[in-house]
Amino acid sequence: MRLGLLTGGGDVPGLNPCIKTLVRAAAEEGIQVLGLRRGWAGLLHFNPEDPESSAGNLQPLDTRNTRTIDRTGGTFLHTSRVDPAAVRPRDLPSFLAHRALADDPVDCTDHILRVVEHLKLDGLVALGGDGTLSFAERLFREGVPVLAIPKTMDNDVHGTDYCIGFSTAVTRSVEFIHQLRTTAGSHERIAIVELYGRYCGETSLLASYLAGVDRAIISEVPFDPERLAELALRDKRDNPSNYVMITMSEGASMQGGGPVGLRNAEGFLKLGGIGAVTGETLRRLTGENVICQQVSYLMRSGAPDSLDLMVAVNFAETAIGLAVRRAWGRMIALKEGRYTSVPLDVLREGRKRVDVDELYDASEYRPKVRHVEGKPMFLY
């Protein structure tokens, strides 16, 4: 058997241990693994008519060249956010440039199918978030044997309780929140920590819950800045050290407004900046000085913590077990604390979001975790 392996979307801690384990487990079963570099872009830029010029998109993997990759963060195979079903004309390789019509995205799925056939892949393993894995599910519907491994620090892939990268992101967030307390307390300020998470507030919710912050703004609940200002002044007054800690999801929005970010030429919104906007608003409403800190890429950089390492290794082992049985069209998952797999089409059922009624006080802007007994490890 010959498997293709790729990593797509944003990098997270734990990818390299997952790759190493997958290659080792595959070798023990007599399975060859071909690394596809730069996510779906590696297949998109492979030209079956001129394979030698496209060799840089491929990386044969074995136990020797993956032996030490688990000692570093990121992904040994590199990554991209390319979606072959909707490629921007400027991202098309030269040999596909003729497909571009005006500025409309181009569906290159047929090209990917042709490349998979040319490479004689018996199966494909994709490590990614909902974007990467949604195209993997599309390929499975087109007849390609596919397995998916969920990774994203946002933990927002539907169908699994856990994604590789989430624990490290929360751990780092808690550490940075506590570190910022020294400056906020020394200068008696309101401190806002903006966290990654896109439109899922789980990272902000759990980081704020574990770090014991005063207020937590999540993506699922638009907030009233005047109410937040009122709460912040109260918290500052009640704190003997005279400071306030607030966390914010990058996808949060004020009531009557929308998410904050920059739109690129294609109209896609790159989230980021709600913390600074809120900080300026609170400064005006309260008269207090405000510190704004984006943790951003530091949440996803470097080596994984022990939980992400354990999940990454065991997701890889599970994937090879499925490949050996030729149980294709599955996504590796953690459900109620157990390793399992679910049908890939679960990705089309929706997106994971915070259970606001169960875990959040929308009037006080803070976690509300009660009746923990019987809840899953990550609360929902």
Catalytically active residues, by annotation:
154
Which residues are CB-contacts of 265 (< 8 A; sequence separation ≥ 6)?
A: none
- Give dist(CA 112, CA 297) in Å, integer: 30
Residues 348-360, buried b or exposed e (16+ Cβ, 10 A)?
eeeebbbeeeebb
Please say whether the beta carbons of 294 and 275 come within 8 A.
yes
Q: How many CB atoms lie within 10 A of CB 262?
A: 10
- Give dist(CA 171, CA 110) in Å, integer: 41
- List the alpha helices (DSSP H) in the chain: 15-28, 40-44, 109-118, 130-141, 166-187, 202-211, 225-238, 274-286, 306-324, 356-359
- Give dist(CA 130, CA 216) in Å, integer: 25
Q: Which long-range contacts (CB under 8 A, 24 or more apart) does 264-267 make?
A: 266/88, 266/103
DSSP 8-state code for residue 125: E
Please say whether the beta carbons of 10 and 152 come within 8 A.
yes
Q: What are the angstrom distances between the C-alpha of 220 and each of 195, 282, 355, 357?
A: 14, 21, 9, 11
Please say whether the beta carbons of 354 and 181 come within 8 A.
no
- Give dist(CA 92, CA 97) in Å, integer: 6
Handedness of CA 92, 95, 101, 106 (dihedral sign): negative
